Chain A
Amino acid sequence: MSASEAYSPIKLLGEHVTHLIGSLAPQSVTGNGEHPVKMGITQVAASQYLVFFLIACVVAIVIVFAAKKKAALVPKGRFINVIEFLVDFIRNGVASIIKKDPHKYVAFLCSVFLFVLVNNLIGLIPGCKPGTGTIGGTFALGIFVFLYATITGIRVKGGWGFIKGIVPHGLPKPIVPIVFIIELFSMLLRPITHALRLFANMYAGHIVLGIFSILTQLFFMGLFNSKAATAVASPAWLILLIAMYLLEFVVAFVQAYVFVLLSAVYIDSSVSSH
């Protein structure tokens, strides 16, 4: 860029954003194109998301064991009280959606909530990526919840009872097959929409944070290019960036809540008779 050319942050933005979105694509960390890790006939590669996924795994397990060690009839201390609050929140606010034996599923829902929440929060640390910000990760979680709901449904109601439970009670006989097909289709689509919702929220949130940081940086660069006009606007971008960061912090909690709420709804629809 020549000195005579006007320094325009907005014009530079497009190039940076393309770079940012490219950096969000999964990249292999175990081997490159020349030295792939072979497993049978396929190549296996661990992307950078997998690393953060595993970190989240370890963090969640450490939290659970630390909480188990500190558990007491009368909880003392900040950490254990937060954990008690979360478990209580899942038990009363989420598991109560399930009409039949809700207490049986509290443990599963708590684990899913903790894991998704830790994943989302890790993505907020600058330089880290959310494990849930990739479609593979969330799809694994979605399939896991789907299998859990289906298997518990079959276990509770029996195979034939589960198939009958797909169609709501009290329908006239002729339209039962049509409703069965529609309900079956929507049931099979659930893991996909379940996974896409979490993925798209975290991915979009990550991109938005990235764009705001790029804009803040570009406007601050105006200071060094002796363009006072752009530098004056930079604090405003910084404040917006902090506001977006706080918003993403809330979104991390809300999306974990929505994910576990929908898991509870799916479990309910497969174990309770309606």
Chain B
Amino acid sequence: MALLFYGLVVIGAALGISFVGAKTTEAMARQPEVSSTVQTIFILAAAFIEALALLGFVLGLIK
């Protein structure tokens, strides 16, 4: 049961990170000159989303 819920959590995080990644690629393709700034923001956003999935992982360990 815990695994099932963790799977659901991961779906949300995966959608979030893939959306951020797609938009980052798009922004970089449109304006390659700002790619370094966009990359920093991408990693920040990905880290924030990833934290949610990892919270699920840790709660699963605690039980």
Interface residues of A (CB under 8 A from B): 93, 97, 193, 196-197, 199-201, 204, 254, 257-258, 261-262, 265
Contact = CB atoms under 8 A, between A and B. Distances in A.
Residue of A196, A200, A254 with highest tally of chain B CB at under 10 A: A200
A193 B43 contact: no
Contacts, number: 34
Contact of A193 (B36, B40, B51, B57): B51
Interface of B: 36, 40, 43-44, 47, 50-51, 54-55, 57-58
A197 B47 contact: yes
Contacts of A258: 43-44, 47
A93 B40 contact: yes
5 contacts: A93-B36, A193-B55, A196-B51, A199-B58, A200-B58
B51 A261 contact: no
The secondary structure that dominates the A interface is helix
Contacts of B43: 254, 257-258, 261
Nearest to B58: A200
Contacts of A254: 43
Given A93-B40, A97-B40, A200 B57 contact: yes
Contacts of A200: 54-55, 57-58
A93 B36 CA distance: 9
A197 B44 CA distance: 12
A197 B54 contact: yes
Given A197-B47, A201-B50, A261-B43, 18 more contacts: A93-B36, A93-B40, A97-B40, A193-B51, A193-B55, A196-B51, A197-B51, A197-B54, A200-B55, A200-B57, A201-B54, A254-B43, A258-B43, A258-B44, A261-B40, A261-B44, A261-B47, A265-B44
